[in-house]
């Protein structure tokens, strides 16, 4: 069986942050999965689906899209933003929706997050993936919808 690869696009426009530099030990330690972070500008922004698939989890500050191969990709907008209880987040999609990569899922006004002192760095990870399996992460600025990283599943031994 060959390894399956996946291209993940940036869900938001901003500065690419290597996952190990995300200011949250769970994400930085790749305990949730491999990926990258994106830090948006401190102004209202849209967040788009990083892959095509089904929106299986949708919270005010985070969502998971599962692609046709069953891989879940988590987009978590900001760090500790769950504590805002949705303030500043407007959902534009619904749980169960089929989305294309680049479909707008939410709009964010970061005023409340910034006022609370929360980081806007937004981790994007392939759930349950092995550490350091996200490759081709660019440096510098990125636009929403541009390729953020590629991920390749480890090859499974033949039966």
Residue of 153 and 51 predicted with greater confidence: 51
Average pLDDT over residues 29-37: 96
Residue of 134 and 3 predicted with greater confidence: 134
Domain boundaries, the chain: 5-129
104 pLDDT higher than 50:
yes
Quote the pLDDT of residue 1: 35
pLDDT in tens, 34-45: 999 999 999 999
What is the 3 state secondary structure string of the chain? CCCCEEEEECCCCEEEEEHHHCCCHHHHCCCCEEEEEEECCCCCEEEECCCCEEEEEECCCEEEEECCCCCEEEEECCCCHHHHCCCCEEECCCCCCEECCCCEEEEECCHHHHHCCCCCCEEEEEECCCCCCEECCCCCEECCCCEEEEEECCCCCCC
Q: Report percent pLDDT > 70 for the chain.
A: 95
5-129 is a CATH 1.10.10.10 domain: no
Point out the residues that are catalytic: 76
């Amino acid at each position: 069986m060959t390894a399956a690869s996946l291209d993940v696009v940036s869900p938001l426009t901003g500065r690419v942050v290597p996952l190990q530099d995300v200011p949250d030990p769970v994400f930085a330690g790749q305990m949730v999965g491999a990926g990258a972070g994106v830090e948006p500008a401190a102004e209202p922004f849209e967040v788009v689906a990083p892959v095509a698939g089904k929106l299986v989890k949708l919270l005010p500050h985070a969502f998971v899209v599962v692609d046709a191969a069953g891989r879940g990709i988590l987009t978590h907008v900001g760090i500790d933003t769950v504590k805002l209880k949705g303030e500043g987040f407007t959902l534009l999609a619904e749980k169960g929706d089929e989305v294309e990569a680049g479909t707008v899922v939410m709009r964010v006004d970061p005023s409340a997050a910034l006022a609370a002192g929360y980081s806007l760095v937004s981790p994007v990870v392939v759930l349950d993936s092995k550490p350091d399996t996200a490759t081709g992460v660019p440096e510098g600025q990125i636009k929403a919808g541009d390729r953020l990283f590629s991920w390749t599943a480890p090859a499974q031994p033949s039966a």
